[in-house]
Amino acid sequence: MATNRTAKSVATRRRFVDEALRLFHEQGYERTSMAQIASAAGSSRANLYLYFNSKSQIIRVRMAEIEAEVAELYALLDALPRHTPETLREWLGTAREMWLRYATEFAAVNQAMAIDPDVLDEWLGLVRRVSSAHAAHHLAGATDEARTEREVHMATLMMGLERTFYFLYLRGHTEREELVLTALARQWARLFDD
């Protein structure tokens, strides 16, 4: 009996997140209300508030769900035997696939960051956690200053890639996609110390 309640609760929570993301995509984050999310999920606002206290919490929960995959993507970058333009271009293809898989989530995060500081803080926290793991991987015995420099370096690369993908895939500026990704791979190759 408890297992059925737990499964039902997980399904209800998932439905709220899925419907919120759909509405954010269709009408925008700011124009979507909690009442609309509840209605789209076939539920009441009271029930929605049992699971989430705000739209930003819904976004942050989804960010937490995909963080492991984002971290894994950057772990793949760390695992490259060499950071040549060719290997980085191949990695960018993998990054593109993940980004497109979560394009709705990334678009909602972008919209939410503009008006909800807690979403921005969570996004920056995710970037810090991933870049910190990257720095620790590359500079295990280095000074705190060297690790911090590497962490900041990786954080700026992550944020730059996110912006590039946003303009390519969400804003639809794909006419020079291959040139942009090839140029990005070349730039990154110069920045990595192999």
* Fold annotation for 56-191: Tetracycline Repressor; domain 2 (1.10.357)
What percentage of the chain reaches a pLDDT higher than 70? 92
Which residues of the chain are under the pLDDT cut of 50?
Answer: 194
Task: From 160, 159, 134, select the one nearest 147 (Cα to Cα).
Answer: 134
Domain 1-53 has CATH 3.30.565.10: no
> Helix %, strand %, coil % for the chain, to 5?
80, 0, 20
Task: From 96, 105, 108, 101, select the one nearest 168 (Cα to Cα).
Answer: 96
Go through the chain and tell me how many residues it has: 194
Q: Are 18 and 102 in contact, with CB atoms under 8 Å apart? A: no
- H helices then E strands: how many in the chain? 9, 0
pLDDT in tens, 17-59: 999 999 999 999 999 999 999 999 999 999 999 999 999 999 9
d(CA 71, CA 81): 18
Q: Are 155 and 128 in contact, with CB atoms under 8 Å apart? A: yes
d(CA 90, CA 94): 7
Dump strand ranges (E) for 30-164.
none
Task: From 67, 61, 4, 13, select the one nearest 37 (Cα to Cα).
Answer: 13
- Residue ranges of the chain that CATH labels 1.10.10.60: 1-53
The two structure tokens encoding residue 40: 């789209």
- Residue ranges of the chain that CATH labels 1.10.357: 56-191
Q: Are 71 and 133 in contact, with CB atoms under 8 Å apart? A: yes
Which stretch of DSSP H or E encloses residue 24?
helix 2-27
The two structure tokens encoding residue 12: 């209800």
